[in-house]
Amino acid sequence: MGTNPLLAVDRLPEFSAIKPEHIEPALTYRLNANRERLETLLTDAEDQAADFATAILPLEELGDQLGRVWGPIGHLHGVMNSPELRAAYNDCLPALSRYQTEMAQDTRLWRLYQKVAETLPDDAASSPAASVVNQALRDFRLAGVDLPEAQKQQFKALVEELTQLGARFEQNVLDSMAAWSAHETDKAQLAGLPAWVMEQAAQNAGETSLDGWLFRLDQPTYVAILTHAENRDLRQRFYRAWMTRASAQTDNDNFDNTATIERILELRHAVAGLIDFENFAAYSLATKMADSVAEVLGFLTGLAEKSRTTASKELAELERFAGESLNAWDIAFWSEKLREERYSVSDEQLRPYLPLDRVLAGLFEVMTRLYGLTAKQVDDIDVWHKDVSFIELTQPDGVVVGGFYMDLFARPDKRSGAWMDECISRKDFAGQSARPVAHLVCNFAAVTESTPSLLTHSDVLTLFHEFGHTLHHLLTRVDYPSVSGTNGVPWDAVELPSQFMENFAWEPEVLRMISGHYETGESLPDELLDKLQASRTFHAGLQMLRQLELAIFDLRLHAEYDPLVGGNINALLDEIRQQVAVIKQPDFNRFANSFSHIFAGGYAAGYYSYKWAEVLAADTWSAFEEHGIFATDIAERFRCEILEIGGTRQISDAFKAFRGRPPQIEPLLAQSGIAAETP
């Protein structure tokens, strides 16, 4: 096994050397080794007094070792998908799920944690050690550790199947996108499209020996066409393709996720029932800040009520501007036209001033001014694709804090969206240490033959968002992997650092730092800068309602599921849209079939987290506004009270320590331009 690159866990992964045939042997070896070590630890624990150092830290190391093997596999599945890698990944999911459930249901292990909990000092409730133990005890309960054996086996089978279904869901979305394309030979049909979109489509056509232009269904292309194509039929064609991904509404229904969704909902409800929860939403909230489904639903519906009047006015104004009633595929196009007329600013005006390299340099300068860290590219790091780079963060005293990989361009074998994920968690105990390493992944338009990668301002916000997650992972001061970085942080608080970082990308001082025309180097002109900033609240009500629509759908879908009726997902989504949305969706819309956040990611019954954390983020930003956006004392307090603590403290307590009071919703409403228009 010594030649298997996945087992070289004492250094950064050798991504370029990892082959599909390495996956199953490496995982099998690691699981077997962990099981053997666990038996030894449990036997030894019977013969000696158990304490945190001797009983729990070796278990932390086992979890970290497994993460160092499986982490690169899961990452490559997301960014370099191939039939061979996918097959190996899918074949391993049952074994991994069985192991994880075995650990979570092992009564001997549960009792060991209980014994150690009794040895912890009463005043150590929020210490890293207590957090490791208490979160583990909670997770034992949520995995059914005290269930009768037959029900334990039932739980294990349910979770194993859910793991496979989540992977199938994501793969169906990816395959559905890859199977769709649009070929056009008449340039007149493509009026309004930006030059970079046309250039990329011409390159695609040339690579497949076609004349004209070949458009693929990736996120940058979809957004550009919906925003800029003057051909309404073309916009509708792309809208339909995007909103029917992985459904029976597509020309190719081999990747239909409908049955997969129904099975996922059925199994989640069954899992929750085994642990004596009324529904999966209540089960999900057991690990979050929010106390109940009713509390979250009240928060979401209240925010929707405050936003709907503003959103209705925005839509009515847009339709007056367009001179007609608008369909869903018209909104982005006419919104961009109205934004350009009102503020004399458009994405295509801004893009030349936002080349990726300049934006990154400015982003790192923001980090330096806030936290004193410097970023340096390291070139001799093994990566999985030629476009990937590795960045190291260093303190003023020269100490390396950690590093992160950047994979920023869209590819056909890469899932859509943007995300941060851990590569290596920070640890320092029992002679074992590791600096944290992250993956920062986006799907921006790639470099073309004539231009570098040029970002929209929305892309910039995405980059700042994911960098906020990255800093959260890298700046942790917690030495135990299970609660370091973003690990152990409640899901409805994990978006706080990321959404907070987005605010900087709206500030004039920062916009000057991150901008520079790709041909002349000229910073964003003051006139454009002022207009961009003035446009911040443009259609904020419509954007707010869209997120609330999805959050309410997710919560109610899991809270109201009835196994005798099924998910009834389209009817439920239609009902919620009637109550919340102001933009009418077409009957063919099957957005749920590609809603990977809740069916293949970690946001099931937790999509509300974005809005919940946005309240925290806006209130956090108001502290910086009060004292200066680069006030080092405020930044240091934010770093100390929020970014460094991992999952070792209640976020409500941490926020109070930072802000001096509980969070308030008013800063979010004011930031969105909604408060003043609320009746």
**Model pLDDT for residues 253-284, shown as the tens digit of each residue:** 889 999 999 999 999 999 999 999 999 999 99
**Tokens standing for residue 210:** 């076609």
pLDDT(676) > 70:
no
CA distance 679 to 677: 6
| Mean predicted confidence (pLDDT) in 527-536 | 92
pLDDT of residue 46: 80
pLDDT of residue 190: 98
Residue 435's region, left for phi above 0, alpha for psi from -120 to 50, else beta, is beta
Fold agreement (5-174, 258-345+541-607): yes
Q: Which pLDDT band, with edges at 50, 70 and 90, does 673 fall under?
A: confident
38-42, Cβ contacts within 8 angstroms, sequence gap of 24 or more: 38/62, 38/103, 38/106, 38/109, 42/108, 42/109, 42/112
Q: Where are the domains of the chain?
A: 5-174, 179-255, 258-345+541-607, 351-534+610-677
Residues 6+ apart with CB under 8 A from 667: 615, 618, 619, 621, 622
pTM, whole model, 2 decimals?
0.93
pLDDT digits (tens, 9 = 90+) for 65-100: 999 999 999 999 999 999 999 999 999 999 999 999
| Mean predicted confidence (pLDDT) in 600-612 | 95
pLDDT of residue 124: 64
pLDDT of residue 678: 41
| Mean predicted confidence (pLDDT) in 528-546 | 94
Within 13 Å and on the Cβ side, how many CA atoms surround 430? 12
Classify 258-345+541-607 by CATH class.
Answer: mainly alpha
Q: Is 642:517 a contact under the CB 8 Å cutoff? A: no
**Tokens standing for residue 124:** 């150590």
| Mean predicted confidence (pLDDT) in 538-542 | 95
Domain topology for 351-534+610-677: Neurolysin; domain 3 (1.10.1370)
Instruction: Compute CA 343 distance to the chain's CA centroid, rounded to the nearest angstrom.
Output: 31
> First vs last Cα of the chain: how many Å apart?
68
SS3 330: helix
Residues 6+ apart with CB under 8 A from 269: 279, 280, 558, 561, 563
pLDDT digits (tens, 9 = 90+) for 37-74: 999 999 988 877 889 999 999 999 999 999 999 999 99
pLDDT of residue 283: 98
CA distance 275 to 192: 55
| Mean predicted confidence (pLDDT) in 492-503 | 96
**Which is catalytic among the residues 170, 422, 466, 507?**
466
pLDDT digits (tens, 9 = 90+) for 626-651: 999 999 999 999 999 999 999 999 99
Question: Taking all residues of the chain, what is their mean pLDDT, rounded to a whole number?
Answer: 95
Residues 6+ apart with CB under 8 A from 40: none
CA distance 373 to 370: 8
Architecture of domain 5-174: Orthogonal Bundle (1.10)
Task: Kindly give the pairing relationship between strand 374-377 and strand 437-444.
Answer: unpaired
Looking at the chain, how many residues does it have? 679
pLDDT digits (tens, 9 = 90+) for 139-194: 999 999 999 999 999 999 999 999 999 999 999 999 999 999 999 999 999 999 99
pLDDT(679) > 50:
no
Task: Judge whether 466 counts as a catalytic residue.
Answer: yes
